[in-house]
Amino acid sequence: MTHSQNVDLSVAGPAYQARPDVVASDIGGHWALLDLETSLYYTLNATGAEVWNAMQAPVPLSHLVSTVTATFDVSEDACRADVEALVDDLVSAGLVTMTEPPGDAQI
Protein backbone atom coordinates (compact mmCIF):
# COMPACT_ATOMS: atom_id res chain seq x y z
CA MET A 1 0.00 0.00 0.00
CA THR A 2 1.41 3.39 -0.92
CA HIS A 3 0.25 6.60 0.68
CA SER A 4 0.42 9.83 -1.24
CA GLN A 5 -0.18 13.26 0.15
CA ASN A 6 1.37 16.68 -0.01
CA VAL A 7 3.63 17.29 2.94
CA ASP A 8 5.12 20.67 3.85
CA LEU A 9 8.68 19.69 4.75
CA SER A 10 9.71 23.24 5.67
CA VAL A 11 8.05 22.99 9.08
CA ALA A 12 8.14 19.26 9.58
CA GLY A 13 11.79 18.65 10.51
CA PRO A 14 13.94 15.98 8.89
CA ALA A 15 12.51 13.94 6.04
CA TYR A 16 13.02 10.19 5.77
CA GLN A 17 13.09 8.17 2.56
CA ALA A 18 13.66 4.50 1.82
CA ARG A 19 16.69 3.95 -0.40
CA PRO A 20 15.50 3.05 -3.90
CA ASP A 21 18.05 0.24 -4.23
CA VAL A 22 16.60 -1.69 -1.27
CA VAL A 23 14.25 -4.37 -2.56
CA ALA A 24 11.14 -5.02 -0.45
CA SER A 25 8.75 -7.95 -0.74
CA ASP A 26 5.67 -9.07 1.21
CA ILE A 27 6.21 -12.60 2.47
CA GLY A 28 3.14 -13.85 4.30
CA GLY A 29 2.36 -10.67 6.22
CA HIS A 30 5.98 -9.83 7.00
CA TRP A 31 8.21 -7.85 4.70
CA ALA A 32 11.69 -8.88 3.65
CA LEU A 33 14.13 -6.12 2.71
CA LEU A 34 17.27 -6.83 0.71
CA ASP A 35 19.99 -4.20 0.67
CA LEU A 36 21.54 -4.66 -2.77
CA GLU A 37 24.72 -2.85 -1.70
CA THR A 38 25.49 -5.13 1.23
CA SER A 39 23.43 -8.24 0.33
CA LEU A 40 21.96 -8.18 3.85
CA TYR A 41 18.34 -9.17 4.51
CA TYR A 42 16.06 -7.51 7.05
CA THR A 43 12.48 -8.30 8.07
CA LEU A 44 9.63 -6.02 9.10
CA ASN A 45 6.28 -6.83 10.69
CA ALA A 46 3.04 -5.33 9.34
CA THR A 47 3.53 -2.06 11.23
CA GLY A 48 7.11 -1.73 10.04
CA ALA A 49 5.97 -2.44 6.48
CA GLU A 50 3.42 0.38 6.74
CA VAL A 51 6.21 2.76 7.76
CA TRP A 52 8.50 1.45 5.00
CA ASN A 53 5.82 1.93 2.34
CA ALA A 54 5.13 5.47 3.55
CA MET A 55 8.82 6.33 3.09
CA GLN A 56 8.91 5.74 -0.66
CA ALA A 57 8.99 9.54 -0.93
CA PRO A 58 10.60 11.89 1.63
CA VAL A 59 8.28 12.31 4.62
CA PRO A 60 8.64 13.74 8.14
CA LEU A 61 8.29 11.60 11.24
CA SER A 62 4.91 13.17 11.99
CA HIS A 63 3.55 11.79 8.70
CA LEU A 64 4.82 8.31 9.53
CA VAL A 65 3.15 8.44 12.95
CA SER A 66 -0.12 9.62 11.37
CA THR A 67 0.05 6.80 8.82
CA VAL A 68 0.45 4.16 11.51
CA THR A 69 -2.21 5.56 13.86
CA ALA A 70 -4.67 5.74 10.95
CA THR A 71 -4.06 2.07 10.12
CA PHE A 72 -3.56 0.43 13.53
CA ASP A 73 -5.28 0.77 16.90
CA VAL A 74 -2.47 2.53 18.77
CA SER A 75 -2.15 5.80 20.67
CA GLU A 76 -0.11 8.57 19.11
CA ASP A 77 2.32 8.67 22.04
CA ALA A 78 3.07 4.94 21.95
CA CYS A 79 3.22 5.01 18.18
CA ARG A 80 5.66 7.94 18.07
CA ALA A 81 8.17 6.17 20.32
CA ASP A 82 7.99 2.95 18.28
CA VAL A 83 8.18 4.72 14.91
CA GLU A 84 11.13 6.83 16.09
CA ALA A 85 12.97 3.67 17.19
CA LEU A 86 12.22 1.89 13.90
CA VAL A 87 13.28 4.86 11.77
CA ASP A 88 16.48 5.24 13.82
CA ASP A 89 17.24 1.55 13.24
CA LEU A 90 16.55 1.83 9.50
CA VAL A 91 18.75 4.93 9.21
CA SER A 92 21.53 3.22 11.21
CA ALA A 93 21.32 0.17 8.91
CA GLY A 94 21.62 2.46 5.89
CA LEU A 95 18.24 1.45 4.48
CA VAL A 96 16.70 4.90 4.89
CA THR A 97 18.17 8.33 4.26
CA MET A 98 17.46 11.37 6.41
CA THR A 99 17.58 14.86 4.98
CA GLU A 100 17.07 18.22 6.59
CA PRO A 101 14.66 20.24 4.45
CA PRO A 102 15.71 23.68 3.24
CA GLY A 103 14.06 26.47 5.21
CA ASP A 104 11.78 27.57 2.37
CA ALA A 105 11.07 24.33 0.49
CA GLN A 106 7.51 23.10 0.13
CA ILE A 107 6.32 19.95 -1.54
pLDDT digits (tens, 9 = 90+) for 5-18: 444 444 468 999 99
- Mean pLDDT, to the nearest integer, of 44-63? 95
Please give the pLDDT value at position 104: 45
Percent of the chain with pLDDT over 70: 82
d(CA 13, CA 34): 28
User: Which DSSP symbol is given to 73?
Assistant: S
Taking CA atoms, 9 is separated from 21, 42, 57, 72, in Å, by: 23, 28, 12, 24
- pTM summary value: 0.81
Taking CA atoms, 51 is separated from 18, 32, 84, 102, in Å, by: 10, 14, 10, 23
Please give the pLDDT value at position 76: 95
d(CA 36, CA 62): 29
